[in-house]
């Protein structure tokens, strides 16, 4: 029992190019033992909760049936949990009279009976509505009359047809209602009456009074059942424990059913974090199970699962990163690149300190109120809090607080207002952030490039970007010949641009045919016109940042207009309503836009340079505890 490869995880991980930023290094683990200890071993591994077990074979029919039953139990617990949650706020409750083991069956029966009662109630409501125009009658007497050759029938006829309708001879007819058509009943002898112009209405199973009594009885039953389900809602913790137990049972059946198994031996293969490798080996020795455990480093052709291990700040970006994909085991983890830029971009887009404060308070309250109840919500709310802090900072720097137009603007470090300030400052800042963002993505691409040729190609793209930026910056801010850096910027920009074009031309491919290499290089140079589009995409930071403050200012102006037009008393109330509703709408729309466009700059513009995703998420075989 031990390592097949004596080299440590750290060294082999570096040899395979695993990033040391946040991806935990993995070891391949094999466990072999006698078949009569298979179930005991699987329970031991589930209790240990560190091995990512890989399926080796398909499930047998026996395990397939067990797995289907376990999944059905999970669905049943989920359904009854949702059902009782709807009654949790009811004040009157009936205590649950059964032990916890029978709780799910008890709730399932009550829910089924409640649904049946409510369905019956709806049918009775229709009967009562139908009979309300006819009044009460004794159905048994009507049946007796029919047995003696006297027929009482109900009809409905359109008003247009009624005007031309003539009552047949030897027939008694009485109208009971003329609303939404003509309703009438007839009494005839010997045989039932047939009226082609009218619709025959069948007799219901109950009379009006009987239907009302039955409806009242169902109401009492419904009230009793809702009280019983409200009492069951107090057992939410028990249901959660049973759900976790069922989930662990389903996982156990799935993993046990897909391991390699023969008459005398069974085998488990999977992955384990290097840092937990020694602990697992010690636990196996303590268990006294007759197992052979072998651990080795991943082979180059193997794809281990990815486990991120980020600090408290970076961890909050993981829910958003998972929307794009799990990092491949041998890729650079983009979290440390994604988190700071994503938070900064969001702050620039929302760009109002007042909105940022409101967003912070709401996300903080939601985290405290629901963070422990809804899985994953706490991490999302912490990300929103980071977004809020960035928004407050940008808003204070640019002097934007609920779109208020300050008269004294000397305290504002970067004034973007039209007239006293310059909105184009934010435009240049946005493009500058774009240059830095793209540059870091190119650098990360160079770091993990598989060959020197690819590294030089990516370096060429970065050179074209910086050369062009330097030349454009010179023409905007340092175009005067008197400027001391006028000529250095020109020659430096031309040199860097030329270097980038040459590298792109020569290293577009590793083909040894220089004709093909130059041809592909020229094509790649032509494709670099897309760099302009990539860089200009960052102008969306400028557009959203200006739009948020401008719309907020418009809402304030609308409030002022309503206040002036509404009069002394109604004006202030209406103005406050317009301002509050307008700012809520603007805040919600701006939060959505800031999130989507900031993420887009990463997913579309930056990640294509170094991050592909498509990794396998590390999911240890474990007992579900929370």
Quick one: how many helices (H) and strands (E) in the chain?
20, 10
Any domain includes 361: yes
d(C-alpha 470, C-alpha 496), whole Å: 9
Q: How far apart are CA 119 and CA 369, in angstroms?
A: 36
Tell which of 183, 206, 229 closes a domain.
206
* H-state helical runs in 288-370: 318-324, 335-350, 353-370
Q: Tell whether 240 is covered by a domain.
A: no
pLDDT tens digits, residue range 258-313?
998 888 999 999 999 999 999 999 999 998 899 999 999 999 899 999 999 888 88
Which domain covers residue 165, as residue numbers?
137-206
Contact partners, residue 529, CB within 8 Å, separation at least 6: none
Full-model pTM: 0.78
Annotate 385-441 with three-state secondary structure: HHHHHHHHHHHHHHCCCCCCCCCCCCCCCCCCCECCECCHHHHHHHHHHHHHHHHHH
Q: Are residues 423 and 565 in the same domain?
A: yes
- Total tally of structural domains belonging to the chain: 2
pLDDT one-digit tens code per residue, 235-256: 888 998 899 899 999 999 999 9
User: Is it the case that residue 371 has pLDDT exceeding 90?
Assistant: no
Instruction: Judge if 200 and 340 occupy the same domain.
Output: no
CA distances (Å), origin 12, targets 7, 24, 330: 7, 13, 12
E strand or H helix at 111, and its extent? helix 103-131
**Does the pLDDT at position 463 exceed 90?**
yes
Give the pLDDT of residue 7: 47
What pLDDT is attached to residue 626?
58
Residue 44 falls inside a structural domain = no
Q: Phi and psi dihedrals of 302, rounded to 5?
A: -85, 150
In angstroms, the Cα distances linking 610 to 75, 306, 341, 467, 604 are 41, 17, 16, 21, 12
Residue 432: partners with Cβ closer than 8 Å, 6 or more residues away? none
Please tell me whether residue 177 adopts helix, strand or coil conformation: strand
* pLDDT > 90 fraction of the chain, expressed in percent and rounded: 53
- The CA dihedral of 423, 428, 432, 435, to the nearest 10 degrees, is 120
Task: Examine the fold and report which residue of 155, 186, 206 is the final residue of a domain before the chain moves on.
Answer: 206
Q: How confident is the model at residue 479 (pLDDT cuts 50, 70, 90)?
A: confident
Does residue 378 lie within any of the structural domains? yes
Residue 365 placed within a domain: yes
Q: Which of 155, 172, 206 is the last residue of a domain?
A: 206
> Exposed, middle or buried, 416 (CB in 10 Å: 0-12/13-18/19+)?
buried
Count CB neighbours of 332 within 10 A: 22
Task: Tell me the per-residue pLDDT of 178-216, one tens digit each, with 9 for 90 and over.
Answer: 888 889 999 998 888 888 889 898 888 888 888 889 999
Over the stretch 18-69, which tens digit does the pLDDT of each residue have?
444 578 999 999 999 999 999 999 999 999 999 999 998 888 888 889 889 9
Does residue 163 form part of some domain? Answer: yes
Determine the average pLDDT of the residues in 615-619.
Answer: 93
- Per-residue pLDDT reduced to its tens digit, 325-358: 899 998 888 999 999 999 999 999 999 999 999 9
Same domain flag for 344 and 195: no
CA angle, 482 then 487 then 489, to 5° = 115
Quote the tokens at residue 339. 């988190």
Q: Tell me whether residue 545 is in a domain.
A: yes
- The pLDDT tens digits for 206-231 are 888 888 899 999 999 999 999 999 99
pLDDT value of position 2: 52
**Closest by alpha carbon to 474, among 489, 491, 492?**
489
User: What pLDDT, in 10s, does the model give residues 557-605?
Assistant: 999 899 888 777 888 999 999 999 999 999 999 999 999 999 999 999 9
Confidence band for 1, pLDDT divided at 50, 70 and 90: low
How far, in Å, CA of 106 to CA of 75, rounded? Answer: 16
- Distance between CA 217 and CA 119 in Å, rounded? 14
Q: Does any domain span residue 490?
A: no
Q: Residue 265 and residue 282: Cα distance in Å, rounded?
A: 22
């Amino acid at each position: 029992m031990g390592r097949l490869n004596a080299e440590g995880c750290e060294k082999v991980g570096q040899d395979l190019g695993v990033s040391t930023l946040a991806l935990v290094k993995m070891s391949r683990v094999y466990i072999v033992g006698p078949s009569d200890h298979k179930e005991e071993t699987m329970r031991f591994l589930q209790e240990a909760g560190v091995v990512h077990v890989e399926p080796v074979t398909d499930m047998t029919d026996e395990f397939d049936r067990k797995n289907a039953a376990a999944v059905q139990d999970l669905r049943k617990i989920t359904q009854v949990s949702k059902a009782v949650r709807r009654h949790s706020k009811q004040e009157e409750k009936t205590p649950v009279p059964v032990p916890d083991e029978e709780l799910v069956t008890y709730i399932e029966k009550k829910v089924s009976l409640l649904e049946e009662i409510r369905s019956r109630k709806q049918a009775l409501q229709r009967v009562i509505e139908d009979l309300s125009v006819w009044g009460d009658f004794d159905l048994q007497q009507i049946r007796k009359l029919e047995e003696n050759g006297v027929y009482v029938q109900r009809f409905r006829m359109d008003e247009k047809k009624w005007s031309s309708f003539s009552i047949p001879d030897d027939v008694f007819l009485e109208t009971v209602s003329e609303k939404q058509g003509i309703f009438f009943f007839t009494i005839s002898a010997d045989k039932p009456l047939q009226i082609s112009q009218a619709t025959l209405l069948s007799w219901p199973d109950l009379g009006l009074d009987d239907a009302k009594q039955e409806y009242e009885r169902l109401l009492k039953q419904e009230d009793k059942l809702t009280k019983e389900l409200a009492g069951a809602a107090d057992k939410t913790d028990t249901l959660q424990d049973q759900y976790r137990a069922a989930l662990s049972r389903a996982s156990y059946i799935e993993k046990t059913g897909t391991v390699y198994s023969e008459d005398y031996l069974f085998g488990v293969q999977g992955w384990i974090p290097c840092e937990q490798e020694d602990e697992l080996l010690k636990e196996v020795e303590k268990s006294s199970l007759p197992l052979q455990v072998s651990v080795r480093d991943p082979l180059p052709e193997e794809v281990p699962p990815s486990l991120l291990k980020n600090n408290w700040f970076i961890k909050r970006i993981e829910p958003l990163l998972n929307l794009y994909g799990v990092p491949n085991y041998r890729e650079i983890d983009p979290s440390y690149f994604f988190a700071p830029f994503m938070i900064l971009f969001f702050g620039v887009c929302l760009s109002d300190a007042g909105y940022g404060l409101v967003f912070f308070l709401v996300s903080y309250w939601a985290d405290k109120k629901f963070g422990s109840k809804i899985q994953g919500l706490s991490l999302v709310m912490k990300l929103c809090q980071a977004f809020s802090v960035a928004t407050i900072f940008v808003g204070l720097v640019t002097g934007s607080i609920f779109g208020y137009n300050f008269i004294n603007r000397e305290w504002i470090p970067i004034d973007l207002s039209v007239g006293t300030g310059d909105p184009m400052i934010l435009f240049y800042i946005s493009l500058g952030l774009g240059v830095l963002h793209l540059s870091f993505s190119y650098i990360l691409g160079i770091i993990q490039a598989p060959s020197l040729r690819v590294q030089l190609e990516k370096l060429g793209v970065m050179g074209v970007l910086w050369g062009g930026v330097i030349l454009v910056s010179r023409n905007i801010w340092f175009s005067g010949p008197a400027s001391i850096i006028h000529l250095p910027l020109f020659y430096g920009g031309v040199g860097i641009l030329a270097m980038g074009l040459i590298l792109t031309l020569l290293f577009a491919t590793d083909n040894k045919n220089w004709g093909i290499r130059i041809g592909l290089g020229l094509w790649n140079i032509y494709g670099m016109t897309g760099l302009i589009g990539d860089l200009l995409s960052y102008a969306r930071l400028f557009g959203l940042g200006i739009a948020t403050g401008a719309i907020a200012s418009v809402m304030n102006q609308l409030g002022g207009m309503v206040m002036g037009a509404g009069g002394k008393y109604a004006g202030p109330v209406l103005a406050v309503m317009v301002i509050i509703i307008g700012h809520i709408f603007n805040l919600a729309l701006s939060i959505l836009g800031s999130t989507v466009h900031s993420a887009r700059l990463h997913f579309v513009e930056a990640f294509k340079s170094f991050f592909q995703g498509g990794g396998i998420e590390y999911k240890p075989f474990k007992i579900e505890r929370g």
